[in-house]
Amino acid sequence: MIEALECRGCTAEDWSRVCIAPESEPQLFSNVDFEGDVCIGVVGRSLRPDACIRNATLKDCIIGDSPRIRNVHGSITNMNIGNNVTIENVGRIECEPHAGCGVGMEINVLDETGTRPVIAYIGLTAQSAILMARSPRSVAEELYNQTLEYLPMRPAKASIGDSARITDTQIISNVEIGRECIIEGAARLSNGTIANNANPGKGLAYIGPGVDADGFIIEDGVVDAGALIRHTFVGQGVRLEKYFTSHDSLFFANCSMENGEACALFAGPYTVSMHKGTLLIGCQTSFMNAGSSTNQSNHMYKLGPVHWGVLERGVKTSSNSYLMLGANIGAFSLLMGDHKTHPDSREFPFSYLFGDASGATVVVPAVMLRSCGLMRDEKKWPTRDRRRRRGMPLRDRVIFDVLNPCTVEAMLSAIDTIRELMHRPADDDRYIRYKGMKLSRASLERAIKLYTLGVKKYLTGILLPDTPAEDENGWVFPSAPADENLRAQWAEPWIDLAGQPMPRRYLTAAIETTGVTQREEIFDEAMERYDTLQQEWISARIPDELRLSAEELRRGAAEFDTLVETDRETYRNNLSAELAMLGLY
């Protein structure tokens, strides 16, 4: 074997340290330099027609069966390489002993100064990550220590998994590459892990042309088309592409980001940004859609980039919108114009927020409830889940419901708040001011009706979806439990934990637990019991004025549907008029 290899231009520092399976075909080797300890499995055409190792330097490597390794301009150093791997036209692939490969790196999300870093690892969920990012300092430190204890010991040599394919790539340094992962045309990959959890042949993990990544974990995600990432976690079904730039950011299930920039962003499930000039910085999002040139500010030139904010579930931003952080924008709101007074609109979900000429925030509560696009979004999100039907464990727990105990609780509270505000006199500009926001009396009056219809729509969908009309006369609204403690527990507020609504007691239990695995089990239980927990919450939380008969609830839901359908019809008519105006004849 040695003589045959030397005849084909192969060399070795010490042939005694080179082990090649005897079933291998020497003619499939050419111009290979062996350095240090090298062990190679079967290289034969019977296993793989295009198997070969040519024009490569291998140093301290273990290589499985059926490799195709060609044209390595530098060397492959200190790597464990699986079966049926393709490595072709690369600069160099190397790994330092005991390299972390991105696992355990700190990502300074939200507050860029790093007061509550999130530790990245394979299997990180949106729910665990948001606990690390948002908990009080003492709790965050305990979660930090628990996560460090959870991290597995890293192997001395990084690996390239079975059937991985690496082509036309320049530099790969200290990167662990999972099975069936594909890297094509990347510029530089350093200090990271690329993982594939899908069934054979259904993998999502992909790195495309021009990508430059340093400090990253990509788990069942795609980074493509010149994206530039630093200290970034890319979760399942995520796509970062078209020269998107990210640093110290986290992206969870099915986010899609193109062209713009993210800095210290916690992008919860289904956050979307597609436009050049869009900067998402120092904020938490989920189900968000960022319009072109959306911008945020977290510095204010005083104590550094310490300001951050929350855009609750479903927030949309218009083109050229600006938000000065810190701020908290209520769920499913539309943000337009410049907002410079740190608005906190959590109490008014489903609102329009306009920035006036002075940067103040004018709130029109509840009007998003009648938008036909809102119900369309709820239906489209599940169909766009890239994780489904791939056999992978779904890391991030996602509830798609627009109307859920979190948003309904906010609407119930908003009704009470608005009734109090209606007793206040308006200022000289005819606005009622509340927590730095401006609201008109007419918009408040309309909001009470819209919020009430929204609650009725929710109750009908949960309590009456399968109730036959003939049985409705005997239907009784679910009663709260007699036990006061149990009633208080069922009625407690819910929290939307990065796409997963749950009662606050589950959040408390997750914070108080002593390990990462136990914490994930608590989140799993909340997910599994979601329907039951909703029923309990409804029975204990809904006020007497909304404990209505089935007929009254359905009538309210029908009125809600009519508003949505009217909005849809108005939109269609306006669209038809626009198309007619633009017609050729």
pLDDT tens-digit map of 421-459: 998 888 878 899 998 899 999 999 999 999 999 999 999
Helix (H, G, I), strand (E, B) or coil at 151: coil
Establish how many alpha carbons lie within 13 A of residue 514's alpha carbon, considering only the half-sphere containing its beta carbon.
Answer: 0
pLDDT tens-digit map of 529-559: 999 999 999 999 999 999 999 999 999 999 9
Residues 6 or more apart whose Cβ sits within 8 Å of residue 470: none
* 133 contacts 116 by C-beta, under 8 angstroms: yes
pLDDT tens-digit map of 103-161: 989 999 998 877 778 999 999 999 999 999 988 766 777 787 888 887 765 454 579 99
Residue 557: closest CA among 357, 403, 412: 403
Tell me whether residue 275 is in a domain: no
What type of residue sits at position 563? L
pLDDT tens-digit map of 184-238: 999 999 999 999 999 999 999 999 999 999 999 999 999 999 999 999 999 999 9
Tell me whether residue 27 is in a domain: yes
Instruction: Compute CA distances 475 → 65, 514, 538, 549, whole Å.
Output: 67, 45, 15, 7
Q: Tokens 């959590």 belong to which residue?
A: 346
Establish how many alpha carbons lie within 13 A of residue 44's alpha carbon, considering only the half-sphere containing its beta carbon.
Answer: 11
Q: Is the pLDDT of residue 468 over 80?
A: no
Tell me whether residue 345 is in a domain: no
- b/e 384-396 (16+ beta carbons within 10 angstroms → b): ebbbeebebebbb
Tell me whether residue 63 is in a domain: yes
Q: How many distinct structural domains can be found in the chain? A: 1
**Domain encompassing residue 76:** 1-86
Tell me whether residue 136 is in a domain: no
Helix (H, G, I), strand (E, B) or coil at 276: coil
Rounded to whole angstroms, how far apart are CA atoms 561 and 574?
20
Measured in whole angstroms, the distance separating CA 137 from the mean position of its chain's CA atoms is 24
CATH number at residue 8: 2.160.10
